[in-house]
Amino acid sequence: MKIVIIGGTGLIGSKVALNLREHEHEVVAAAPSTGVNTVTGEGLADVLVGASVVIDVSNSPSFEDGPAMEFFTTSTRNLLAAEAAAGVGHHVALSVVGTERLSDSGYFRAKAAQEALIEASSIPFSIVHATQFFEFVRGIADGATDGNTVRVAPVSFQPIASDDVARAVSKVALGAPVNGTVEVGGPERFREDEFFRDALAAWNDPRQVVTDPHARYFGAELSERSLVPDDDAMRGEIRYRDWPGRIPTGK
């Protein structure tokens, strides 16, 4: 079976490609660096010839409201149109747990718009909602930093290793389209402020974590369950304390 991965050279895409090749599928990693650009449409028609499944794990290069919306809507429209012309039978997209609850954020409004386009398409689909990746923990802390303090809300937080996300996406891609959403989160649930306090201590980071119920997450104020999946969601296997990247190399 031919499977095309949009964003196939990135963090998740490269891991998904490796997983699927182990199952002896024909896997094509598509990205601007390989001559496939979903925003301009360059290379789309050619790469989708004979494809049964398309997995979209691409991401906007900007988290700003306008550019993110432009990327996700333009890219998704172009991709879905090319898939329809090629007769693709399953569109799989990676999105974020809580997207529908974070509409104060322009980035998450853009992700919601992407999902709406997929749902309105004639192509059978599966949307995978994942929680925050371990690899993005430092970036989340940096985004919450004000001077020497990191303002974080006292809400539930269930991060996941990118390896586990890739396994979940691969599993969904090899199954029948669900025409809905599948959630996946990490194996453990934390309180976000306590998690980041411990994480910064492990990094020997001098910034102070301040518990702030009104702290914004990429522009959105959080409630207790904004960032976590339902209790029956798929769960990853790798615990944060066992993740090799938890402590920076040389620390």
Tokens 């496939």 sit on residue: 36
Residue 248 has pLDDT above 80, yes or no: no
- Give the tens place of pLDDT for each residue, 116-135: 999 999 999 999 999 999 99
Write b or e for each residue in 161-190: b if 16 or more Cβ atoms lie within 10 A of its Cβ, otherwise e. Answer: bbbbbbbbbbebbbeebeeebbbbbbbebb
CATH number of 2-246: 3.40.50.720
pLDDT tens digit sequence for 203-212: 999 999 999 9
Question: What is the predicted pLDDT for the residue at 247?
Answer: 81
Q: What is the reported pLDDT for 249?
A: 60
Mean pLDDT of 226-233: 96
- Average pLDDT, stretch 40-56? 98
What's the predicted TM-score (pTM) here? Answer: 0.95
| Contact between residue 94 and residue 123 where contact means Cβ atoms under 8 Å apart | no
The pLDDT of residue 251: 44
Q: pLDDT by residue (tens digit) across 142-198?
A: 999 999 999 999 999 999 999 999 999 999 999 999 999 999 999 999 999 999 999
Measure the CA–CA gap between 63 and 67, rounded to whole angstroms.
Answer: 7
Question: Strand 53-56 and strand 90-96: pairing?
Answer: parallel
What local confidence, expressed as pLDDT, does residue 246 receive? Answer: 87
Q: What are phi and psi of 222, to 5 degrees?
A: -100, 150
Which tens digit of pLDDT belongs to each residue from 61-120?
A: 998 999 999 999 999 999 999 999 999 999 999 999 999 999 999 999 999 999 999 999
